[in-house]
Amino acid sequence: MQPQQSFMNLDLQLRSSIRSAVSALFQVQYDQLQLQPTNAEFEGSHTLVCFPITKISKKSPEQTATAIGEYLVAHSGIVSRFNVVKGFLNLVIADKVWAEVFQSIYADKNFGALPSNGRELMVEYSSPNTNKPLHLGHLRNNFLGYSVAEIYAALGYTVHKVQIINDRGIHICKSMAAWQLFGNNETPASNGLKGDKLVGKYYVEFDKNYKAQIKDLVGKGMSEGEAEKQAPIMKMAVDMLQKWEAKDEATLQLWKTMNGWVYEGFNETYKRMGVDFEKLYYESNTYLLGKEEVLRGLEQGVFFKKEDGSVWVDLTSDGLDQKVLLRADGTSVYMTQDIGTAILRFRDFPKIEGQVYTVGNEQEYHFKVLFLILKKLGYSWAEKCYHLSYGMVDLPTGKMKSREGTVVDADDLMQEMADEAEKQTRELGKIEEATDAQIKELSEIIGLGALKFFLLKVDPKKRMMFDPNESIQLQGHTGPFIQYTHARIRAIIRKAEIMGVQPSEKELTQIAVLEAAEREVIFMVNNYINKLNEAARDYSPAVVANFAFDLAKGYNHFYQTIPIFNEDDQIKLKFRIAFSQVVADVLKKSMKLLGIAVPEKM
RNA sequence: GGUCCGGUAGCUCAACUGGAUAGAGCAUCAGCCUUCUAAGCUGACGGUUCGGGGUUCGAGUCCCUGCCGGAUCACCA
């Protein structure tokens, strides 16, 4: 059931009218109505597909459609005209009905934000390793996860945003080893480098030396496989990992220090990205719980032990394979940690009905297995867990490879976008009285808006192409296009305020005739909640992004055709001010769900 | 090899989950600033929806089959 909405629900009314028509005409109860937007080439806004109804009506599609159309015009009170093309019944909603629809939206101060539905959800996103800085792939991840969380929140859910930080393991030990060898006690404070960048630098340094050592050993006649194990720097990293697990004080100290640098760097990046988290989980805190759970599962016979002492789960009956959960030496693997993390989260937030994991599609198998294991352990919520799987971000030059140095750094990219926005803002020179600081602030909004929109407009599950030249575009199907539309409307509102034009709710319904462009836009705005539901159902911010773009486009069409302030008719003038106001609000709200701000001027 | 995902205009993406003559943006070309912000608007050009079968009133969408690209099938995370 749809929650009660304070604005007039045209769709529901129309559906109910059509059902009445069908039952009156054909004496049959029919609920599977296929209602869709009317194609632009025909008159009308809503189209009823009548082919399926012919089975009931025992008439041709045209006759069926015509009969329903005539009935609706005579009895519904909302349909003023209709036309029939083949089996399609195109309905024209009366302008006074549109005016009422609009008025109810205008009057609803909370339009687009549903009241709490009492349900809780957790959304995990970001979840980086602590050995290198965030990159373009993380940007897609963060923007996606953040946006999905916001969309659910708008629909009345209480949403908890979290992440799991992979703070332990061989990767961070590699950076630690390299830093000890070559760091000369360098710190972010001593050299001014961002903490995550500094640690990342030593991760690269490790790899460089590691490769050189392997090459050297192979040159001395060692096999490649053996050399990978025997390289001194790798032995050092492995040794550190073991010391870490044994809680060696000096190792822990170094680990804490270097992770601390990384977190400082990450926080700066998150701040600029505009994302936030209610609670952070650290693998170093959850992997032990995972281990306990696995041992419990072992006792219960859910898992089994092999001769060497390693613990496994058998998923062959689910069409999957066997999977290791604890190594022979008792140490945990990635899966073990994720089991612990999931359980811990449900203990921390007992009211959540499920979790959304925003993680790349290369881990689809992992999550399939994870959810199955949790189910086997007896956690019923496992079925409500969802892997929000998204495709890789490709560069025109191909795949991003951190080892080949082809990654696009998140900080650099955000800076480039802001710089480009600033350049174009200054070239256009529209904001005459702006200070330098204001221009910087605006450029940040525009640059980040462009970047976020670019990454969010594509269906998450699809792999996407990131062309720097295209992403930096501020025209066309972009965030700034929508921001610009908003800014233009705000200029109109400011002017109306100066002129003292105050739309009143009562007058809004007095408008007799609407322009086509106005009808179209009201139709779109009226569809906003439907779009949010669709976006939530599909975990796809792209739905919201494309909605906002279409709405902006629709409004721009109106803007171009109708000079608002040339209007003598006060009712029309006021209606158009209110109408513009509503569009600006909905643009702002929908962009906010994408994490994108909209400026007052640009 | 098994499993999963994808293939739509020159390029980047849509298509309300089976509906009408498949739509936008970019690029190219032609128009629109003495009027609310031209980061805008209007038009033109652009398609065998990877190929081949099938299902039905109707298929980009569902089924089968082949081709191409990607991911995954680790005691890595």
pLDDT in tens, A260-288: 999 999 999 999 999 999 999 999 999 89
pLDDT in tens, A51-95: 999 988 989 999 999 999 999 999 999 999 999 998 999 999 999
Residue A459, nucleotide of least CA–C1' distance: B13
What confidence score (pLDDT) does residue A8 get? 66
What the block records as the tokens of A293 is 């759970």
Residue A527, nucleotide of least CA–C1' distance: B16
Residue closest to B57, CA→C1'? Answer: A51
Q: What is the residue whose two structure tokens read 């009314």?
A: A13
Backbone angles phi, psi at A166, to 5 degrees: -80, 80
What the block records as the tokens of A440 is 């910087």
Strand, helix or coil for residue A387 = strand
**Which of the nucleotides in strand B have any atom less than 7 Å away from a protein CB atom?**
4-6, 11-17, 19-21, 24-27, 35-42, 57-58, 70-77
Average pLDDT, chain A: 92
Residue A493, nucleotide of least CA–C1' distance: B36
Contact residues for A481 (Cβ-Cβ < 8 A; gap 6+): A474, A475, A549, A552
Residue A483, nucleotide of least CA–C1' distance: B39
pLDDT in tens, A551-569: 999 999 999 999 999 988 9
What confidence score (pLDDT) does residue A41 get? 87
Residue A450, nucleotide of least CA–C1' distance: B39
* DSSP string of A356-371, one letter each residue: EEEEEGGGHHHHHHHH
Q: Rounding to the nearest 10 degrees, give the CA dihedral for residues A493, A496, A502, A505.
A: -40
Through-space separation of residue A488 CA and nucleotide B44 C1' in angstroms = 29
Is the Cβ–Cβ distance between A172 and A203 less than 8 Å?
no
Element (H, E) at A261: helix A249-273
Q: State the pLDDT confidence band at A402, using cuts at 50, 70 and 90.
A: low
Q: State the pLDDT confidence band at A217, using cuts at 50, 70 and 90.
A: very high
pLDDT higher than threshold 90 for residue A223: no
Residue A550, nucleotide of least CA–C1' distance: B24
Through-space separation of residue A148 CA and nucleotide B5 C1' in angstroms = 21
Q: Pick A1 or A223 by higher pLDDT.
A: A223
Residue closest to B37, CA→C1'? Answer: A488
How far is it, in rounded angstroms, from Cα A533 to Cα A475? 28
Through-space separation of residue A335 CA and nucleotide B2 C1' in angstroms = 22
The DSSP letter of residue A354 is: E
Through-space separation of residue A88 CA and nucleotide B58 C1' in angstroms = 12
Through-space separation of residue A485 CA and nucleotide B28 C1' in angstroms = 26
pLDDT higher than threshold 70 for residue A404: no
Average pLDDT on A502-529 reads 91
What confidence score (pLDDT) does residue A407 get? 85
What confidence score (pLDDT) does residue A403 get? 63
Residue A327, nucleotide of least CA–C1' distance: B75
Kind of pairing between the strands at A386-390 and A352-360: parallel
Long-range contacts of A184-189 (CB under 8 A, 24+ apart): A187/A261, A188/A261, A188/A264, A188/A265
Q: State the pLDDT confidence band at A198, using cuts at 50, 70 and 90.
A: very high
pLDDT higher than threshold 50 for residue A590: yes
Residue A306, nucleotide of least CA–C1' distance: B75
Mutual angle of helices A170-182 and A249-273, in 10-degree steps:
110
Q: State the pLDDT confidence band at A1, using cuts at 50, 70 and 90.
A: very low
Residue whose C-alpha is closest to residue A442's, from A458, A455, A453, A429: A429
Q: How crowded is residue A537: how many other Cβ atoms within 10 Å of its Cβ? A: 9
Backbone angles phi, psi at A586, to 5 degrees: -70, -35
pLDDT in tens, A529-553: 999 999 999 999 999 999 999 999 9
Distances (CA, A) of A528 to A149, A454, A460, A521: 17, 21, 20, 11
How far is it, in rounded angstroms, from Cα A328 to Cα A287? 16
Residue closest to B27, CA→C1'? Answer: A470
pLDDT in tens, A7-46: 568 988 999 999 999 999 999 888 889 999 999 889 999 9
Kind of pairing between the strands at A35-37 and A46-49: antiparallel
Is the Cβ–Cβ distance between A103 and A503 less than 8 Å?
no
Amino acid at A589: K
How far is it, in rounded angstroms, from Cα A372 to Cα A356? 15
Residue closest to B77, CA→C1'? Answer: A334
Through-space separation of residue A557 CA and nucleotide B42 C1' in angstroms = 10
Amino acid at A516: A
Through-space separation of residue A462 CA and nucleotide B69 C1' in angstroms = 13
Through-space separation of residue A202 CA and nucleotide B74 C1' in angstroms = 26
What confidence score (pLDDT) does residue A548 get? 98
Through-space separation of residue A96 CA and nucleotide B57 C1' in angstroms = 36
Residue closest to B58, CA→C1'? Answer: A51
What confidence score (pLDDT) does residue A30 get? 86
Through-space separation of residue A596 CA and nucleotide B30 C1' in angstroms = 36
How far is it, in rounded angstroms, from Cα A406 to Cα A394? 11
Element (H, E) at A80: strand A79-85
Residue A86, nucleotide of least CA–C1' distance: B20
Largest CA distance in chain A: 94
Ranges of H-type helices in A274-333: 283-299
Through-space separation of residue A559 CA and nucleotide B33 C1' in angstroms = 14
Through-space separation of residue A138 CA and nucleotide B6 C1' in angstroms = 22
